Amino acid sequence: MVKPWKRKWGPVRLSGTVGRFLGCLLFLRTVVRDVLSRLNLEAYASRNIGELSGGQRQLVFVAQSLVRNPKVLIMDEPTSNLDLYYQFQIMSLLKELSVTERFTTLLSLHQIDLVARFSDKVIVINDGCVYDYGTPEEILTAQMFRDVYRMNTEIVNKGGTAYVIPISQHHCCPG
């Protein structure tokens, strides 16, 4: 059976019979229930979004995106203002879902530890231009941190993940 959030379906049309319209609504309800179940959000289904924590809200936003059956999921700072637990939960979930549901995830992140841990590919933007592109191991280098962040760093590789230790600000001498 095809998972409801993977089925191809178009916008709900208001023309046609009431039965067809109600059928579309019931189908959407099924899709929403399945996505809420997949993300373990059933307990939040009847709560006001304002009553949820930041992490819970981010999970709801991911669920809203999945209901739409994306080919590409684009998120801007999905882990900002979240505690470490929810940062890891959101990133683990996005990584898992992009693999199992076969969609591309494009995120903007400033948390280098999350970039190193969860990214397959990294694009570094500096002054509005692409500085470099590649795997985290290729991109997260001391030279990149000097050039882009003006920081002297030490890169420690542990278990296949790069950890960045800031050492000092890098002051470049004027020409």
- Crossing angle, helix 54-67 and helix 84-100, to 10 degrees? 10
Give the DSSP letter of residue 13.
P
Quick check: 62 and 94 in contact, CB under 8 A? yes
User: From the CB of residue 81, how many other CB atoms can be counted at a distance below 10 Å?
Assistant: 10
| Cα gap 124→149, rounded to integer Å | 11
pLDDT tens track of the chain, all 175 residues? 555 445 455 554 445 555 555 556 566 677 788 878 877 788 887 888 888 888 788 888 888 888 888 899 999 998 888 889 888 988 998 898 899 889 999 999 999 999 999 999 999 999 999 999 999 999 999 999 999 999 999 999 888 888 888 999 988 766 5
Strands, E assignment, 47-126: 72-76, 104-108, 122-126
Using alpha carbons, select from 161, 67, 157 the residue that is nearest to residue 114. 161
Domains and CATH numbers, the chain: 1-106 (3.40.50.300), 109-175 (no CATH)
pTM above 0.85, yes or no: no
Distance (Å, whole) CA 85 – CA 79: 10
For residue 127, what pLDDT is reported?
A: 92
What pLDDT score does 23 carry? 58
